Each structure stands twice: as structure tokens, then as C-alpha cells.
Copies of this chain bind each other. A is one copy, B any other.
Amino acid sequence: MSEESPDMHLSKDEFQNYGYQLVDWLAEYFDKIEQYEVLPSIEPGDIREMLPDSAPEKAESMDEIIADLDRVVMPGMAHWQHPGWYAFFPSGASPVSALGEFVAAGLATQGMMWSTAPSATEIENTVLDWLVDLLGLPSSWKINEGPGGGVIQMSASDSTHLSLAVARHQLEIAGIDGNSLVVYGSSHAHSSIEKGARIAGYKHIRSVPVTQSFDMDANSLAQLVSEDIRSGLVPAWVCSSIGTTNTTAMDPIRRIASIAADNGMWHHADAAYAGSAMICPEFRELQDGVELVDSYTFNPHKWLLTNFDCSIFWVADRSKLVQTLNILPPYLRNETEENPAAIDYRNWHVPLGRRFRALKLWFVLRSYGSENLRAFIRSHVAWATELEKRVNDDPRLELTAPRTLALVCFRHSGGNESTKALVDAINASGSAYVTPSVIDDVSYIRVSIGSTWTKQRHVEDLWNLIDANAGPR
């Protein structure tokens, strides 16, 4: 046969050499991450200006490429792994998780079907079943027991979107006009509901009022549902937020479940952040009634030491999911397609292909052990509780929402301008980053404690920064 491909891949020695270098580079990064400013000081376009306008014709050396991690990448990093990261919710990675991702990338198995990736499929089945027990969820959500089951998705937005798409398809095949379907979430529910509903083609989205503690007012939900039915619409889907993004408010799942059941609605639970805390039994009262929902999502990539992406999506009845998504062309037919022990995950989400994300999760759950994972969560909640107390005891500051887990929401008593000045001072320090937000025109500060490398002393430092910048007592 004609022309051999040139030997262009890294040799074994080269791979080992550069692999070790990058292990060392990351080891240094983890070790010194605190010395970086949390946010970079650059303008849009600055990173791009350091890069050429076209791809190189000739191969470049790995030495040059690795050097560009410091020259190009570092100057434009917002360090999500910095111990002073209190913004948004944490993006919890860990050294172990990075090692798992590395191995998965090297194996590069593609898990669209059991037959194309038996290990990846069964390890995913297994660790997701482990998590059902760890989080105190219904055992009928285990792949092994059914009729439910879990699957790793990219993000909670994907899970929410998918539950919306499945709910819609189920109602449409029952003969209901898609244009009449209505989606409900609280006014504090995540933006992924509106986004997912729009993508899934829903025409009616209701923002349900919240109570004083910012959880969904179930009476208002019942009233909106009744009004919509009277108008000839069909209530289709409702989300219980188990920890809103604004304040980690907890919706009344049991009451919402009752309204959903009475009206044949799909009931989805978004525990993207708070789900990780449910490995500690003492927090499970926050999701009382969770056994009644039709689907549930939480993100180990937020608060369980597993790097993005790793979002779990459970459904109470997997047959509805598979019925909606299964399309079987001849080139995907295979001998185990009818075998219930051989899950074809391609029928559990929008993509066809998928990588071996369960590997890093398996590494994390084993390397830490459940005991340590609980201690990790509990320490953050304890520090947040202490921070909440200090805010409450300080006349210059006011809590703006009840704390349920490790997010503390407060403002400056002087009002929005003073609050903005305080946010700016904290973020300008370079050692901490908090997110400002606003509810009903009241600006406030979100302090989300949960980064992998955050220790008690960092939260002390943050408090000192708040104290020093809040003005005279």
C-alpha cells in the first residue's frame, strides 16, 4: 500500500517527559494558587493579542507549548480553584479528579452504548447507584433496582432541559397540543428553566411568587395552575429548587409534589449546588419529599471535589426517558440492545457520544471516602454559620436571606451604594472574590464557601476584609 503516515505522535519517552512536566506544573499550581490574584487584570482582547492569527504550519515543540501556559493562559485566568473564591457557587475540582480525567482522556473510550464501553457504562451505573444511597434518595432510582436510574450529564442546565423535553414529548404522544403546555418555577429558580423551556419549545412559563424566605409559595403555585387550567392551558412541568442560586432557598417539595400529582405534571428537582450536602444526613430535612419527584439533578462538579463536567440526572422512571430519546439506525444495532443489564446511555441524553466521566467520580468517591466528603461539606457549613453570626452581630451589616447551607447573603446597612462599595473593596483586594446580586432592588453580597482549597483561615481573612471595609462601627 501507498505512503506511510509520518511518525508524528509523541514517542513514549516524550509523553512521559512532558507528562511529568505537566504533573509538576499542576502540582506547583495547586501549591501556589493562593499567591495569584483571584481575578486577572486584563481587558477583552488582551489574551488574543498574544496569539498568532493562524494555526502553525510546522509542528511546535511541547516545550514552547508548555511555556505558553505561563505566558498566555495564566495572565487571563479567573482562578476558580483559588481559596478566596466565594463567587457564584464553587467549581469543585481536586487533584484526584484531575488524575481521573487524565486517564479517561488517554483511554478515550466512547460510551454511547454498553457494547462500545462496558467498563465505562457499568462503572457509571455503579457509582450513580452508590450516590443514591449516599444522598438518601429512593432506592428505586438505582439502575440496579429501577424503574429509575441515573446518568452523568454535562450540567444541571442539560438535565433541566432534558426533563422539560421528556415531559413535553410524553404529553404530546398522549395527544395534548404542545402549544398549550405550561412550565412553573419560582421567581428565584435558576435561569436554566427559562432557557431550557425556550429551547424545548414551551410557550408558557410562569414565575411563581416566593415567600419571605424566597422559597416557592405553594399556594400561589396552586392558584396559577388553577387559573391556567381555566384558561384552557395544560400544566406540564414544575421545578422544585433545592437551593436557589440567589440564596439557597429550599422550595416546599412535598406540597409542590401534591399539586404536581393532582394535575399530572412532571416534577423536577434542581439541587445543582445543594445536592452534594445531602451526603450528610442532618441536611436531608431540607429536601423533605424528594422521593416524590420525577427527576432530580445535582452537580458533583460544584461541591463534591469532581471537576466540571459532572452533573448527575436521575429519573424515577427511565422508560419515559428512553422512549423519548431512542432512535435506532442500523449502524447502531447491537447484540445487547435489548438486555436490561446493558444500559445504552446514548438514549439517556441529547448527545450520542460520551466520555468516561464516571472514572473521575469513582476516583474521588474512593480516594476521599464518604467520611472525608462529609467532613468537607460540614466544615464549610460551620464556617458559613460562623460568618452569618458575625454579620448578624455587626450593626454595619444585615443578613438579606436565611442561610441554609454554606452561602451567606448580606448587605451593608447603609444601602445599595455602601454595599456596592464593600463588594468592590473585597474584589479589589485580589485575595477574595464575591458575587454581588440583587433581589427586589436590594443589592447584596453572596459569599459562597466551598472551594477545594479554602481553609478556616481564608474565611477569617475574608471576614477581616469585610470588617476593614465596612466603615466605622
Contact = CB atoms under 8 A, between A and B. Distances in A.
26 contacts: A18-B99, A19-B23, A20-B23, A26-B103, A55-B370, A58-B369, A60-B366, A65-B367, A73-B119, A79-B109, A88-B331, A91-B109, A91-B353, A93-B105, A93-B108, A98-B102, A98-B106, A105-B307, A105-B360, A155-B351, A157-B350, A157-B351, A162-B199, A169-B199, A307-B355, A309-B351
A428 interface: no
B194 A327 contact: yes
A402 interface: no
A105 B97 contact: yes
A1 B328 CA distance: 57
Given A77-B119, A78-B116, A198-B324, A30 B336 contact: no
A227 interface: no
A54 B144 CA distance: 12
Nearest 5 pairs between A and B by C-beta?
A76-B119, A19-B23, A201-B201, A93-B108, A5-B379
Determine chain A's interface SS by DSSP, over half rule: helix
Interface string A348-382: 00111111000110110111111110011011101
Given A329-B191, A351-B157, A366-B65, A77 B107 contact: yes
Interface residues of A, number: 173
A15 B30 contact: yes
A80 B55 contact: no
A412 to B, nearest CB: 17
A110 B80 contact: yes
Given A9-B94, A106-B93, A130 B55 contact: yes
Most buried by B among A2, A46, A78: A78
Nearest to A77: B119
Contacts of A126: 48, 51
Contacts of A18: 99
A201 B200 contact: yes
A47 interface: yes
A418 interface: no
Most buried by B among A127, A246, A307, A378: A307
Given A330-B438, A437-B330, A369 B57 contact: yes
Interface string A291-307: 00000000001000001
A59 B369 contact: yes
Contacts of A393: none
Given A102-B101, A117-B78, A199 B350 contact: yes
A80 B102 contact: no
B363 A65 contact: yes
Nearest to A72: B119
